[in-house]
Chain A
Amino acid sequence: MSDITAGRLTRVPSTAFWKQDDWWAVGAGLALIALAYGVFASGSSLAWLAVTPPKWTALPQLTAHFAAAWPRYLAQAALWLVVVSGALAALGYRVRSTAPAFLLLYVLSVAIFTLGQWADAVRFNLEPPLVALAVGLLIANLNLLPRGLDAGFKVEFYIKLGVVLLGATLPLTLIAWAGPVALAQASIVSIVTFGVIFAAARALGLEPRFAAVLGVGGAVCGVSAAIAIAAAVGARRQDAAVTVSIVILWAIVMIFALPFASHLLALPAGVGGAWIGTSEFADAAGIAAAQAYGDIAAKTAGAAAGAADQSVAAFTLMKVVGRDVWIGVWALVLSIVAATRWENTGIETRIGAADIWRRFPKFVIGFLLASIFITLVAQHAGHAQFGHATTANLVTPIKNLRTWAFSFGFLSIGLTTRARDLTAIGARPLLAFSAGVAVNVVLGLALSTWVFGTYWQHLGQ
């Protein structure tokens, strides 16, 4: 975005907080949590508004539910519309594009959520995240919607908003207990994966900047890391585009592959979530896979209580706390390596320590603030009270809102992933990246099950 002031160029920097979806997700998430708490503190609950379709076995149950609850869905849609339209308008998108897009997203989400609540859904592999992705991909690739509606299909905003709301369902003690384990596991896998992809790419004759961008795409946080590191090292723009395409391709494959592999291996929900957090490439794709596996694991005989949430919690700790927050450090280190050891491109990069904060995924702050808030509420309420009234009237409505936010994100992944938008991928980059995937998946599984399995299996219990 540019502006002219007294004949001189001034640009509104992307680092301005109102230009970043991270901060809008934090603001919207904390506002929803504050609303839930305000209603709860006044002796009521947001449960009326945070309605979700019930479990069902026969259609009459559904029709009875919607006949009675339609005003609640209408009110919820209005609340989401205000939140989403407001945030996206601040990011520069017109309400006349985002509002219809969001309403479509909401209607599709209600349909997919309802299907997922069917008693036989798991038997037919109809986990809502996977169905949402498949439906979205179908709609986008058959060109059933105008591209202008993409303005309302903002995957990152919905997922970041969901992560902030997730923070309000995880006590800070849990993050403090599992955080170091996540950090250790994620660090081992990230460094090894980067090393394998970089070495393979160099061995295949790719230039070091391209190899580095591919490496972080597989090791850190997928597309976001690829863009950040491409700029930090001054990579060619087509190298960034190729990496983004490869990351998307593998991430979509992994959304389906990791939950089914976890199911075949009969992994506990927490272990499966940790594995997905280690081996998926993007937050949105990973949360879709983790939630899908949580749903599968929860309906398996002998599943621990809260299994569905365990998978998403383990994923978030591993991916967000363990991997994403280091993106600035990767940018700093690789920019120094690029400037001192790789061929001069004529561009002098000046990445400094301040970039660690500039590139920090700010939604993590919202996640932690939400967790601190709910921990303080729990302390104030006392254990017995928190276990009953607070959970039912405060935490559960927030959890339901989180599920909706994630649903919007999962659908948006499919609705914005078009095969024709993917840049032509050469064999060598794909091979190098795939070598990293192979090592990452095996190492991630070994660490999640054998080395740190006990932690992940008992997460939150």
Chain B
Amino acid sequence: MNACRTCRHFDTAQATLECFIPAIGSLSSVHAASRADDGVCAVHARLVAATATCRQYKEGVIF
């Protein structure tokens, strides 16, 4: 099964994370190494690691 990294529902952009958690920049950073490749899954409305997988995987791009 393909990982979230290439799924169209997975968004790892810094702006997306800042949009969901606007206060993140005040004591942390979307550029922190500890974040690794984490992103937001639009289907599950959860934070997920890029290496995660699920049955709703759909290859594609979010514009």
Check if A237 is an interface residue, CB within 8 A of chain B.
yes
A359 to chain B, nearest CB (A): 5
A9 lies within 8 A of B33 (CB): no
Q: Which of B13, B24, B29, B47 has the most CB of A within 10 A?
A: B47
A362 lies within 8 A of B25 (CB): no
| Chain A residues within 8 Å of B23, by CB | 241, 244-245, 248, 417-418, 421-423
Check if A182 is an interface residue, CB within 8 A of chain B.
no
Report how far A345 CA is from B41 CA in the complex, Å.
12
B35 lies within 8 A of A351 (CB): no
Q: Is the interface of B mostly helix, strand, loop or mixed?
A: loop
Give per-residue flags for A18-47: 1 if the beta carbon is below 8 A from chain B beta carbons, else 0.
Answer: 011111000000000000000000000000
Report how far A225 CA is from B28 CA in the complex, Å.
9
| Chain A residues within 8 Å of B22, by CB | 418, 421
* Closest residue on chain A to residue B16 by CB atoms: A237
Interface size on B, residues (CB 8 A): 47
| Chain B residues within 8 Å of A235, by CB | 46-47
| Chain B residues within 8 Å of A91, by CB | 31
Interface size on A, residues (CB 8 A): 73
Report how far A144 CA is from B35 CA in the complex, Å.
31
Check if A98 is an interface residue, CB within 8 A of chain B.
no
Give per-residue flags for A212-231: 1 if the beta carbon is below 8 A from chain B beta carbons, else 0.
Answer: 00000000011111011011
Give per-residue flags for B1-38: 1 if the beta carbon is below 8 A from chain A beta carbons, else 0.
Answer: 10101101000111001001111111111011111111
Check if A56 is an interface residue, CB within 8 A of chain B.
no
Report how far A231 CA is from B28 CA in the complex, Å.
15
Question: Residue A237 contacts which of B8, B33, B45, B62 (CB distance < 8 angstroms)?
Answer: B45
B27 lies within 8 A of A350 (CB): no
B21 lies within 8 A of A236 (CB): no
B50 to chain A, nearest CB (A): 7
| Chain B residues within 8 Å of A221, by CB | 34
| Chain B residues within 8 Å of A362, by CB | 33
* Closest residue on chain A to residue B4 by CB atoms: A347
Report how far A216 CA is from B39 CA in the complex, Å.
19
| Chain B residues within 8 Å of A241, by CB | 20-21, 23
B37 to chain A, nearest CB (A): 5
A228 lies within 8 A of B27 (CB): no
B53 lies within 8 A of A347 (CB): yes
A225 lies within 8 A of B14 (CB): no
Question: Residue B47 contacts which of A21, A155, A225, A234 (CB distance < 8 angstroms)?
Answer: A234
A26 to chain B, nearest CB (A): 10
Question: Residue A15 contacts which of B21, B25, B26, B37 (CB distance < 8 angstroms)?
Answer: B37
B48 to chain A, nearest CB (A): 6
A-B contact sample (8 more), CB < 8 A, given A282-B27, A417-B27: A21-B29, A91-B31, A150-B25, A234-B52, A236-B46, A237-B40, A346-B54, A349-B49
Task: Give chain A's interface residues, CB within 8 Å of chain B.
Answer: 1-2, 4, 8-9, 11, 13-15, 19-23, 91-92, 150, 153-157, 221-225, 227-228, 230-232, 234-238, 240-241, 244-245, 247-248, 251, 281-282, 284-285, 327-328, 335, 345-352, 355, 358-363, 413, 416-418, 421-423
